[in-house]
Amino acid sequence: MSCPRGCSRRPGDVFGEPSRRKNRDPEIPVISIIDLGIVRSVEWQGDEPVITVTPTYSGCPATEVIMADIGRALTEAGFARHRVEIRLAPAWTTDWLTAEARARLAEFGIAPPGASSVATARVIDARALHRRVARAAVPCPRCGSARTCELSRFGSTPCKAQYRCEDCLEPFDYFKPH
């Protein structure tokens, strides 16, 4: 992406190091919005930088805060005119999390998600004519044990589930794959 009329900064620089540390997810402050994978594009349309964001969920309560934070960061960096747009398709997936984000989640005590496309396998039980979901084990972010159990499908935010480790007995959040 090049700047129109020879400007010295690119809007994408606003999200690079060290400013990347400022652009955090308000619900999970240990990961940046870049590492979360929600910033889909940073480009010029005429003289105006346009940043496109895909929220983690259509109804994610942090979306407005994130968009305002992006706008503020661009303004502070000297981009008085800019647009921040939402793109819902393709839908965000936990596969867009960077390796750094996954490591930071684990360090913070949140079990990072498995791959969304293979995290759950559908098993049809023809005898009872119902479907059950076989889930991959969620390792404990504290001790690494695979002996964990889901306590609640919803944790501290809609994108997380509450789990407990059967070995160290510590509860923890699991960032649900989708």
pLDDT digits (tens, 9 = 90+) for 4-32: 454 545 555 555 544 555 678 888 889 98
Q: How confident is the model at residue 47 (pLDDT cuts 50, 70, 90)?
A: confident
Q: Could you name the CATH architecture of 4-92? A: 2-Layer Sandwich (3.30)
Q: In the chain, which residues fall in CATH 3.30.300.130?
A: 4-92
The predicted model gives 72-95 an average pLDDT of 89
Q: What is the CA radius of gyration of the chain?
A: 19
The answer to whether the CB of 131 falls within 8 A of the CB of 123 is: yes
Question: What's the sign of the alpha-carbon dihedral 122, 126, 128, 129?
Answer: positive
Query: What is the pLDDT confidence band of residue 53, given thresholds at 50, 70 and 90?
Result: very high
The reported pTM is: 0.67
